Structure 1
Amino acid sequence: MELKTGLIQHISKRTRRITANNPGVFTGPGTNTYLLGDDEVVVIDPGPALETHYDTIIGAAKTIKAVIVTHTHLDHSPGAKLYNDRLGIPIYGIKSEQPYQDRSFNPTYHLEDGQVFETSKFILRVIHTPGHAANHICLLLEEDNLLFSGDHIMQGSTVVIRPPDGNMRHYLSSLEKLKCFDISNIAPGHGSIINTPKKTIDWIINHRLNRENKILNCLKSLGKGNVDSLVSLVYDDVESSLHPFAKWSLSAHLIKLLEEQIIDISKNQYYIP
């Protein structure tokens, strides 16, 4: 199904999708907001605080029971405050004090890994998936085996990991964690439905590990290097205009390799001991 901003699109018996009109480098076509249920609706990722997006969601829902946020980046959570301030709707999620987060986000209820959010129509299971952000969660709709992945898994592109809140080791571990669940489809925070969940998760893990091997091969060849000298070599398959963003993920890889004592650092130069 083609993504269209501002339209209500049915993606399953229980789930509708509305894509916010906030396209960009990090958001693709826009942020996907998901509405679960018909009479009592649960909103997942209300997106940015755009009045047009808010109005479309309100118009599609008879009664909103709760708003759940997968993480507090500025394209996912600021809209939550509108529902709480104007309608008193409870907000669920995990607050963060890390940089680059939505400081307006103040959840009514804090979510925990393994917690179950239940209505008369469906059950959502909370899966803590740090990596893209330390407070990131995915949500599994158990009746449909449908995973709402936020930014942990996106369709059409890989996820940027930006330290210090982003952590590559945690990210890969969280991907492995998802393989333990029965998932039929993935509803990402950006892009279309992914109907090959296991294949997609394996591809992302392999892609990240291959990128890591490129770092090690570059260090072997050069003897030493830093983020600035490595980025064009490690990301030679990525447009140079995106290299400033690639540096964030490169830094996350280097931190992971340092933690695993595979590489070392001296005077801001990384090397293989």
Structure 2
Amino acid sequence: MTNRRNMFFYYKKEKEIEHKLQALFSLARQNGFSIVEDAKDATIIISVGGDGAFLQAVRKTGFREDCLYTGITQAEESGLYCDFNMDNFDEMLHSMVHEEMEVRRFPVINVLVNGETSFECLNEVSVRSTIIKSIVIDVHIDDMHFETFRGDGLIIATPTGSTGYNKSTNGAVIDPIIPCFQVSELASINNNRYRTLGSSFVLSQDRQLSLKIIQDGNDYPIIGLDNEAYSIRNIQNIAVTLSNKVVKTVKLKNNSYWDRVKRTFL
């Protein structure tokens, strides 16, 4: 990886973290890497923290495809996106120098709000009611009306995001090598009057999911994009597709996605 030598570290500007990172910076320089101050100059972007920090690093640096992302956790943290922790940073550098790593490509979903504003998500997009009233959403798959949802909201997750918010609602855990996205319900109402599928469903990369928010007073739902919440006035429709873009991360050869899932949940 001699052509990938510029490192940018994304972390909270706290004295304790900065103090710990000085040793890592020195170790990186000793191994022929450069530490850059601007993410635009980086070929390797490293988040410090758990999965939340990794998601923020990807979002704040623009979901770049021309660089590699990796995550370092602190001692008390674990993460499905992070292969390393502060104590084995030297192992990470050794692996990079001797090419003992593999590159993973994680799917990204594109979210278009009201046909105007576009966002990207590595984990999930969620649409939730902000008032004590169920939200009503007409769900379309491609050009077909699939169901009318009534409840607290919907989650649309990538395969890597399937282990997060989606899993807490009994959604399936999906292998990230499958190009798809999953739709899960939040407290749906199912009775003689209202009826939805009542379970998660998975859409392939060629499908488009369209959500039409019924304007019945619940017109200001919260949209969660990964681990950020956006309050956009008068949301009428949301279109979700699987992006052609992928986020490239590095992994140790003996640490697969399913190794992480087992280590985290079992």
TM superposition score normalised by structure 2 = 0.27
- Give 1 or 2: higher strand fraction: 2
- Give 1 or 2: higher helix fraction: 1
TM superposition score normalised by structure 1 = 0.27
- Higher RCO, 1 vs 2 (CA within 8 Å, ≥6 residues apart): 2
